Amino acid sequence: MNQKYFLIIVFFISDLYAEVRVVCTAALTESHYDFREKQYREAFTILKNYGVSEIFIVEALKKQGPTFFEEISSHVFYATVNNPSFQNNGINEAATFLEALYYFDFDDKDMIIKFTGRHQLTSDFLLRLVENNSEYDAFVKVNSDGNVFTLGFAMRCKDLKEMFGCMNFDAMGHIMRPIEYDVGDYIKLKIRQGNFKVYYVDKLYMKANIFGSSTAPNVAEQIKYY
């Protein structure tokens, strides 16, 4: 076989079989701890019922374990870069998520499905969509401004590293600009540069009880659907 064509075939097979990884962010706040634990346990049970055998958990607030997360997964990372002085919680999540990507040492071609851990799937739609469309580089739901719903989206590992790695977390941590804008801007830039395929979805099939949210700590229980 001609060596040039052999190399092309090997590259194609390697890219086709990149792994799909499910990574969930978590924040074990002291307030409403029991309520949050219940949310996380339910969310991760749903993922396992939908066939996710490996869940990678990124705990942002506690610097070390063990916690109940070890009962759920053998892949738990306790982030070290969470900055309590940041007013922008989205920036802290981005910083800890980036740290976790390097810790877990995923292949750059792996497709990472990122969920905010206490949000629950109501369908396996997004899981199956990502699994069956390996030619895409990102799967997102956007609003009318092109901002990405970061509670649930997917992107190749190398692009996630590039996107979060280009952000100045220290400067952005005190600016109350939602991280959804920055993720949306990055995707728009990649599309303009070419060779970046995005699958846009109308619905994530996710829900959350926002009671006890770090962004809205005093709100009553309220179920939101996405």
Q: What is the pLDDT of residues 79-135, one digit of tens each?
A: 999 998 898 888 999 999 999 999 999 999 999 999 999 999 999 999 999 999 999
Domain annotation covers residue 109:
yes
Domain annotation covers residue 6:
no
Of the pLDDT bands very low, low, confident and very high (cuts 50, 70, 90), residue 217 is low
Domain annotation covers residue 7:
no
Q: In degrees, to the nearest 5, what angle opens at C-alpha 189 toward C-alphas 155 and 157?
A: 20
The boundaries of the domain holding residue 138 are 19-225
Distances (CA, A) of 89 to 82, 186, 220: 9, 19, 20
Domain annotation covers residue 9:
no
Q: Identify the helix (H) or strand (E) that includes residue 120.
A: strand 120-121
Q: Give the C-alpha separation, 32 to 76, whole Å.
A: 21
Q: Give the C-alpha separation, 157 to 50, whole Å.
A: 22
Q: Give the C-alpha separation, 82 to 29, whole Å.
A: 13
What is the pLDDT at residue 212? 63
Domain annotation covers residue 115:
yes
Domain annotation covers residue 50:
yes
CATH number where 205 lies: 3.90.550.10
Nearest to 178 by CA among 218, 213, 148: 148
- Which two structure tokens, joined as six digits, stand for 113? 């499905």
3-state secondary structure of 188: helix
What's the total number of domains in the chain?
Answer: 1
Q: In the predicted model, what is the mean pLDDT of the chain?
A: 89
Domain annotation covers residue 88:
yes
Region 156-178: mean pLDDT is 93
> Which of 5-9, 34-38, 105-109, 113-117 has the weakest average pLDDT?
5-9
Domain annotation covers residue 2:
no
Cβ neighbours of residue 11 under 8 Å, at least 6 residues apart? none
Q: In degrees, to the nearest 5, what angle opens at C-alpha 70 toward C-alphas 45 and 219?
A: 60
